[in-house]
Amino acid sequence: MTDAKPETASFGGLALRKSYARRDVLNGISLRIDRGEITGLLGPSGAGKTTVFRILTGVDRPDDGVVVLDGKDITALGIDARARLGVGYVQQSPDLFLSLSTRDNLAIGLEARGVSGEEAARALSVIARTFLIDSFLSAKVGSLSGGQRKLVEIGFAMCARPNFLLLDEPFAKLDPINVDMICGLLRQLSRTGVGILLTDHKARTVFALADKVNIIDDGAILASGPSSQVAGSPALSAVFPSENRAL
């Protein structure tokens, strides 16, 4: 089984600017995600994190700046076209069919990639085992716990076999056991070559998980680099003073 998507090494935005209702939300930020690495984007509420995700995935367009995939400008492409090029997105609000079973949701995700029949059955089985959801394939997604639903969301996104996966607050409302489980799966995906960008309010978890971290506030990147380096930066002290003391 092969896909036509090109091999890509990096993905991100250059000098992105965005305003809503005359309020500047992004002020010329640049951000890069590399394949096989986990990148964190941390900042307080209203800092611009979700806007970054919406622009990178094609849900929204920047007022200025470019979105680049493997050196190519894809700013004009929408979310569906970017998905076909290998950009996956797990949003804060579940992008699932709650009245359908886990199995049916995954089948829909695979069908969107053009996979059906025996090939789809094999792919679904692999996804179910990989993302620990084989024990509740028959359950309706709306009946699942928060942790189970998050596993299905990630599995659904991976039906498209993306090279890059963006997750907006994947640990929200999850208990520590489920957070650890999700972290383990994301590390596993990273080792297979998937480039991951995630944001969450659990800053210590993101620092422990990510290879690189970016600190954003008021639409600007205040610090960017290896997690160990950013953990001691003045920017972290300014934005998350309590987290800085704990790291």
> Percentages helix, strand, coil for the chain, rounded to the nearest 5?
40, 25, 35
72-109 pLDDT tens trace: 999 999 999 999 999 999 988 777 999 999 999 999 99
Between 1 and 123, the more confident residue is 123
Matching CATH number, 32-62+77-239, of 3.40.50.1860, 3.40.50.300, 3.30.70.250, 2.60.120.200:
3.40.50.300
134-147 pLDDT tens trace: 999 999 999 999 99
Averaged pLDDT for residues 188-212: 95
Half-sphere exposure of 224 (CA within 13 A, CB side): 13
Task: Please report, for the chain, the start and end positions of each structural domain, with discontinuous segments joined by +.
Answer: 32-62+77-239
Mean of the per-residue pLDDT values for the chain? 91
Looking at the DSSP assignment, which residues form a beta bridge with residue 90? 167
Instruction: Look at residue 233 and give its three-state secondary structure.
Output: coil
DSSP letter, residue 215: E
Q: Taking phi first (over 0 means left), then psi (-120 to 50 degrees means alpha), and beta for anything else, what does residue 114 get? A: left
Instruction: Look at residue 108 and give its three-state secondary structure.
Output: helix
Write out the E strands in 47-194: 64-69, 72-73, 87-90, 164-168
